[in-house]
Amino acid sequence: MNLKVVVIGQGYVGLPLSVAVAKYGFNVVGIDTDFSKVEQLNHGVSTNEDVASKDLEELIKSRSYRATSSYLEIEDADIIVICVPTPLKKDRSPDLSMLERATKSFSIYLKQGSLIILESTVSPGTTRNFLLPLIEKISGLAREDFYLGFSPERIDPSNKIWRIHNTPKVVSGLTDKALIKIKDFYSKFIDSIIECSSLEVAELSKLLENTFRFINISFVNELSILCTKLGIDVNDVIKTAATKPYGYMPFYPSIGVGGHCIPVDPLYLSNKAREIGAPTRFIDLADQINQETPGYFVGRAEEKIGGLKGKKVLVIGVSYKPNVADVRETPAEALILGLRNKGAEVFWHDDLVKEWNDEKSVALSNVYDLAIIATPHAYLDLTKLGDVPILNTRGSI
């Protein structure tokens, strides 16, 4: 296939997308500003749990994929997909700085007739009111000279059932022609395409998906506190409620939410709501509960072993979800900080993460006063803890 696709950002979204597109037969170039990551990828070493190194090696050998840090690749690109992070600032407001830098970098080399698709999560109106004028300004092209659309990523790391090809893909375009081109592109390697009536509908649908999860997870975390006080296992309650075949969806307790979506997207939505004077009380309350949950388990830990000062505590699992190495927005960080503020000597174990915050994972053993299960990876062998007391943040009573 002659078309050249450039995917900007080779992280948890961009790399799996690049591989899926390259497997179909497009000529794919992945751009990333991390030089060490680019070098690894070009040697066939995957930096993502959902991409096998052998698949990467085969695509590199067939010249279907390569990585670079140079935006010169945009000069002859037919399709540009933007998959850069859009995290939160320290004040928990949207941070579009990486999107802005990437857009300025590729727009210099943009050719007439290119298709540009934003997959990064943004507030409604961002593609039309932020991205479009920035592209026009830097490229010198009029909006009629290129095609622009938004298609929110739907990547669930470590999910073995729902992958890129079988997860319905939401698409939208600035114009009808752009929408047709975007639909044609994704339909080549994705089974089901969902067309939206506007860019804003697609942008807001992404925020709704994860805000729904955010609110319900925060609610279940609050319910878990109630169950603990009642001496009831919250997981038994959830399992029983889930036998209802309609009108219910199970969510499970934890020390909070993490990752690149659930703790971030709702705040993009609430920030936009504040801009236009709309209420978001559910989101604000859920965020408060989520922020307070690690502190609740610090208190549980104090109660369990009669105080934390001078005690050796092991936190098990520091990534934001089981069976991945991603530590973005992980609530384990707040848990560890809270324990240390109470005078505990805190260590952590996570063989997937290995190194984090200038610290290294320690082995599971029986030398601790307390072990706290924060993220239960499948590989864990808790028998190595011996008779160490365990606090399970996933629903212990």
Query: Read out DSSP for 25-74?
Result: T-EEEEE-S-HHHHHHHHTT--SSTTS-HHHHHHHHHTTSEEEES-GGGG
CATH numeric code, 213-392: 3.40.50.720
- Given a cut of 90, whether residue 1 has pLDDT beyond it is no
pLDDT of residue 261: 86
pTM for the model = 0.91
pLDDT of residue 167: 97
Average pLDDT over residues 301-311: 96
pLDDT bucket at 173, cuts 50 / 70 / 90? very high
Q: Clarify whether 196 is annotated catalytic.
A: no
Instruction: Classify 93 as helix, strand or coil.
Output: coil
In b/e form, how buried is each residue of 301-322, taking b as 16+ CB within 10 angstroms?
bbebeeebeebebbbbbbbbbb
CA atoms within 13 A on the CB side of 261: 22
Query: What is the greatest pairwise CA distance in the chain?
Result: 69
pLDDT of residue 396: 62
**Euclidean distance between CA atoms 367 and 223, whole angstroms:** 33
Which letter does DSSP use for residue 307 in this model?
A: -
Catalytic residue among 83, 196, 227, 261: 261
**Euclidean distance between CA atoms 285 and 275, whole angstroms:** 18
Q: Which residues contact 140 (CB under 8 A, 6 or more apart)?
A: none
> Considering the chain, what is the average pLDDT of its residues?
95
Domain parsing of the chain, residue ranges: 4-197, 213-392
Q: Do domains 4-197 and 213-392 have the same CATH topology?
A: yes
The 8 Å CB, 24+ separation contacts for 385-393 are: 385/314, 388/314, 389/304, 389/305, 391/297, 391/300, 391/301, 391/304, 393/253, 393/254, 393/255, 393/297, 393/335
Kindly report, residue by residue over 317-365, the tens digit of the pLDDT.
999 999 999 898 999 999 999 999 999 999 999 999 999 999 999 999 9
Kindly report, residue by residue over 94-114, the tens digit of the pLDDT.
999 999 999 999 999 999 999
**Euclidean distance between CA atoms 175 and 190, whole angstroms:** 22
Question: What residue type is 329 in one-letter code?
Answer: E
CATH number for domain 4-197, candidates 3.40.50.2300, 3.90.1170.10, 3.40.50.720, 3.40.30.10:
3.40.50.720
Alpha carbon 41 to chain centroid, angstroms: 20
The DSSP H or E segment spanning 199 is helix 199-230
